[in-house]
Amino acid sequence: MSHIRGRLNKAVDKLVNKYTASIPFDWRLYQHDIAGSIAHAKMLARQGIIAPKEAESIVSGLKAIKDEIEQGKFQFKPELEDIHLNIEAGLMDKIGEAGGKLHTARSRNDQVALDLRMWAKEAIAETRNKLRGLQRALLDLAEANKEVAMPGYTHLQPAQPVLLAHHLLAYFEMLQRDIDRFGDCLKRTDVMPLGSGALAGVGYNIDREFLAGELGFSEISQNSLDAISDRDFVIEYEAAASLGMMHLSRLAEEIILWSSAEFNFIELDDAYATTSSIMPQKKNPDVAELVRGKTGRLYGHLTAMLTTMKALPLAYNRDMQEDKEGFFDSADTLLATLEVVTGIIKTIRVKKENMKQATQRGYLLATDLADYLVGKGEPFRSAHNIMGKLVSYAVQRGKALNELSLAEYKQFSPLFGEDAKSITTETSIAARDNTGGTAPKQVNKALARARKIVSGGS
Ligand code: ARG
């Protein structure tokens, strides 16, 4: 029987054990639980709540348990419910009576809040690093293909030419917002809840600032009821992770489209492609498809946790144990996705010529020709209309705009002159020369700015 069931006269039903145990997943908190307990034991001794000798034996017992866990020798018992009770019981077995003093001035409620915040802080740091890694890969690819032009799309219809580097830097921006968002999330996660007890605080003269210092927290929580029952930080991580995955799913979708025979803009490295069990010719972008697909799981975890927390009365309720699996899976999935997408981007082959050829189709210069007419005095709205008619004329004849003669142009507006013919993909791109535009001058500035971000501050 568990060491905390004094109030109850029977062992717990087997089925209940299985239903309520969190050890199958919260074992992952073992390092944080042990670090938290070591700090707590030290603090108890400093405050004269337990004897220094007792603290020493607790600390060495906990260290030994950590080694056992890492060597696969520690026996986790589901009847001990969770990681906290498993470690405490293991400690009592190992060091006897002193082990029973560790839980003085503490509850599992502040303990689990502490452990999970410590885990979250690490997950946030790792997520931000991996986001940065993907930013670097995108930036390298953009720099290596600085001059490459491609069609830009709206409605997935050819719209205006852009530089590939400009397109890639759009993702750099999204990832920068993700890094910032996780940074914001870190501020609210970096708050130390220990000392909140079960709900009301603890009746001992503890030193919460010392605990925060030992455990590397910037602040201590200010309300025990809130500290016990707050899982906002889990939800914030899941929300930021959902946004991050949404961005990655858009990149994945473009990788899928661009590697199709119809676009033929890129080729995936064989190490990042799969094949078909029946069609021998296939080279499939399954990895990118799974990035797109796994995004759904993260949205699910976010919705699940918001729903679990909805209308829960203060303070701790066991419902909150449901926080962990979705949280762990969100972080695991996002981290793995970031690694795999970084690998794709690092090894992708850009088919520059095909991108360039594609800029010759789809009447991408129609806006520039309308702007040309504006330059000759035509109001934009009527210039737009003239160009619409000209494009329709060219479409009917199966011709590109540059295949029409000047005489044909002049049928639509007498303002067209020989110089209309000097409008090209390159002049179109160079014309978008404001901050945030695709002109080489602007893109070079953006590349330099991005390089500075990845090689220094955030
Ligand atoms: N296993 C629990 C959880 O994950 C730990 C806290 C348990 N507290 C309690 N009063 N049963 O939330």
N-term to C-term CA, the chain: 52
Please indicate, yes or no, if residue 214 is contained in any of the structural domains.
yes
pLDDT bucket at 401, cuts 50 / 70 / 90: very high
Q: What's the CA-to-centroid distance between 123 and ligand 1, angstroms? A: 21
Same domain (yes/no): 95, 31: yes
Give the tens place of pLDDT for each residue, 142-154. 999 999 999 999 9
Whole-number pLDDT of residue 263: 98
Same domain (yes/no): 67, 122: no
Q: How far is CA 3 from the centre of its chain?
A: 41
Q: Is 192 helix (H, G, I), strand (E, B) or coil?
A: strand
Residue 3 above 90 pLDDT? no
Spatial separation of the C-alpha atoms in residues 275 and 196, rounded to whole Å: 55
Whole-number pLDDT of residue 153: 98
Domain stop point among 83, 104, 125: 104
Whole-number pLDDT of residue 457: 56
Spatial separation of the C-alpha atoms in residues 307 and 311, rounded to whole Å: 9
Kindly report the length of the chain.
458
Domain stop point among 318, 338, 357: 357
DSSP 8-state secondary structure symbol assigned to residue 381: H
Same domain (yes/no): 72, 185: no
Atom of ligand 1 nearest to the CA of 320: 12
- Tell me which of 317, 321, 325 to substitute to probe ligand 1's pocket, judged by most ligand atoms within 8 Å of the beta carbon: 321
Q: What's the CA-to-centroid distance between 40 and ligand 1, angstroms? A: 18
Helix, strand, coil % over all residues of the chain, rounded to 5: 65, 5, 30
- Write out the two tokens for 96: 């006897």
Q: What's the CA-to-centroid distance between 109 and ligand 1, angstroms? A: 6
Same domain (yes/no): 147, 291: yes
Q: Give mean pLDDT, residues 338-344.
A: 98
Same domain (yes/no): 120, 255: yes
Same domain (yes/no): 123, 88: no
Residue 225 above 60 pLDDT? yes
Same domain (yes/no): 118, 130: yes
Angle made by CA atoms 252, 258, 263, in degrees to the nearest 5: 155
Whole-number pLDDT of residue 312: 98
Residues with CB under 6 A from ligand 1: 22, 26, 81-82, 108-109, 112, 316, 318, 320-321
Give the tens place of pLDDT for each residue, 369-382. 999 999 999 999 99
pTM for this structure? 0.95
Q: What's the CA-to-centroid distance between 20 and ligand 1, angstroms? A: 9
Q: Taking a C-beta distance cutoff of 8 angstroms, is the pair 22, 81 a contact?
A: yes
Atom of ligand 1 nearest to the CA of 22: 1
Same domain (yes/no): 27, 80: yes
Angle made by CA atoms 305, 311, 313, in degrees to the nearest 5: 110
Domain stop point among 104, 127, 151: 104
Q: What's the CA-to-centroid distance between 229 and ligand 1, angstroms? A: 11
Q: Give mean pLDDT, residues 94-115.
A: 97
Q: How far is CA 362 from CA 24, 131, 159, 367, 369, in A?
A: 56, 35, 8, 12, 14
Residues with active-site annotation: 155, 276
Residue nearest to atom 2 of ligand 1 (CA): 321
pLDDT bucket at 99, cuts 50 / 70 / 90: very high
Same domain (yes/no): 150, 219: yes
Q: Taking a C-beta distance cutoff of 8 angstroms, is the pair 158, 151 a contact?
A: yes
| b/e 397-414 (16+ beta carbons within 10 angstroms → b) | eeeebeebeeebbeebbe
Whole-number pLDDT of residue 427: 97
Number of domains comprising the chain: 3
Mean confidence (pLDDT) of the chain: 96
Please indicate, yes or no, if residue 77 is contained in any of the structural domains.
yes
DSSP 8-state secondary structure symbol assigned to residue 88: H
- Tell me which of 2, 4, 111, 112 to substitute to probe ligand 1's pocket, judged by most ligand atoms within 8 Å of the beta carbon: 112
Residue nearest to atom 3 of ligand 1 (CA): 321
pLDDT bucket at 12, cuts 50 / 70 / 90: confident
- Tell me which of 30, 82, 116, 228 to substitute to probe ligand 1's pocket, judged by most ligand atoms within 8 Å of the beta carbon: 82
Q: Give mean pLDDT, residues 78-99.
A: 96
DSSP 8-state secondary structure symbol assigned to residue 49: S
Q: What's the CA-to-centroid distance between 117 and ligand 1, angstroms? A: 14
| Residue owning tokens 């909805």 | 310
pLDDT bucket at 4, cuts 50 / 70 / 90: confident
Domain of 62 in residue numbering reads as: 14-104
pLDDT bucket at 211, cuts 50 / 70 / 90: very high
Spatial separation of the C-alpha atoms in residues 118 and 327, rounded to whole Å: 13
| b/e 293-329 (16+ beta carbons within 10 angstroms → b) | ebbebbbebbeebeebbeeeeebbeeebbbbbebbbb
Same domain (yes/no): 256, 365: no
Whole-number pLDDT of residue 50: 98
Please indicate, yes or no, if residue 6 is contained in any of the structural domains.
no
Which helix (H) or strand (E) covers residue 220, if one does? strand 219-220
Q: What's the CA-to-centroid distance between 82 and ligand 1, angstroms? A: 7
Could you give the percent of the chain with pLDDT greater than 90? 93
Give the CATH number of the domain where residue 78 resides: 1.10.275.10
Same domain (yes/no): 114, 40: no
Give the CATH number of the domain where residue 288 resides: 1.20.200.10
Q: Give mean pLDDT, residues 379-403.
A: 96
- Tell me which of 8, 109, 117 to substitute to probe ligand 1's pocket, judged by most ligand atoms within 8 Å of the beta carbon: 109
Could you give the percent of the chain with pLDDT greater than 70? 99
Please indicate, yes or no, if residue 197 is contained in any of the structural domains.
yes
Please indicate, yes or no, if residue 275 is contained in any of the structural domains.
yes
Give the CATH number of the domain where residue 390 resides: 1.10.40.30
Please indicate, yes or no, if residue 44 is contained in any of the structural domains.
yes
DSSP-derived secondary structure for 129-188: HHHHHHHHHHHHHHHHTTT-EEEEEETTEEEEEEEHHHHHHHHHHHHHHHHHHHHHHHHH
Residues paired with 350 in a beta bridge? 266
Residue nearest to atom 1 of ligand 1 (CA): 82
Residue 6 above 90 pLDDT? no
Residue nearest to atom 12 of ligand 1 (CA): 321
Whole-number pLDDT of residue 276: 86
Please indicate, yes or no, if residue 4 is contained in any of the structural domains.
no
Residue 107 above 60 pLDDT? yes
Same domain (yes/no): 350, 201: yes
Spatial separation of the C-alpha atoms in residues 101 and 96, rounded to whole Å: 10
Whole-number pLDDT of residue 142: 98
Please indicate, yes or no, if residue 90 is contained in any of the structural domains.
yes
Residue 1 above 70 pLDDT? no
